[in-house]
Amino acid sequence: MNTPEQLDATFAALADPTRRALLARLAQGPATVLELARPFAMSQPAVSKHLKVLERAGLISRGREAQRRPCRLEPQALAQAAGWLEDFRRLWEGNFQRLDALLDELQQAPPGSDSTTA
């Protein structure tokens, strides 16, 4: 179950475009900090700071393979955030469907009639 703190950490982590780019790269498979830092015009320590934010939010994990410490995407935290957003999507979809029905009703009403009163 989502706690407010988990959602806050997830959305705070996703608010930064660099962290979103790191997640997009990790969606292709595990990578080391050096591999992740390569396309960015920033230092390895700066990338490591972004990775720590992602790790605290539960969006990534770091493993250990001999000398390497690859980062991996942890999709569960994203799935929880997506589920939270889905609730709002359903709410707005229902609102739009009711609005569409009302607009259809108004367009089909004869001119000069008031179809909103019953």
113 in a structural domain? no
- Using alpha carbons, list the distances in angstroms from residue 83 to 1, 4, 76, 100, 103: 10, 13, 10, 25, 30
118 in a structural domain? no
Which of 5-14, 85-94, 95-104 reaches the highest mean pLDDT?
5-14
The total domain count for the chain is: 1
Q: What is the DSSP letter of 77?
A: H
Continuous H helices in the chain = 4-14, 17-26, 33-37, 44-56, 75-108
116 in a structural domain? no
* Overall average pLDDT of the 29-57 stretch: 93
Rg (CA), the chain: 23
Residue partners of 52: CB distance under 8 A and separation at least 6: none
CA-based end-to-end distance of the chain = 44
115 in a structural domain? no
72 in a structural domain? yes
Given this model, what pLDDT does residue 117 score?
58
CATH, residue 36: 1.10.10.10
Given this model, what pLDDT does residue 65 score?
74
pLDDT band with cut points at 50, 70 and 90 for residue 94: confident
94 in a structural domain? yes
Q: What is the mean pLDDT of the chain?
A: 88
- Of the two residues 113 and 104, the one the predictor is more confident about is 104
pLDDT above 60 (res 70): yes
114 in a structural domain? no
- Domain range for 82 is 1-108
13 in a structural domain? yes
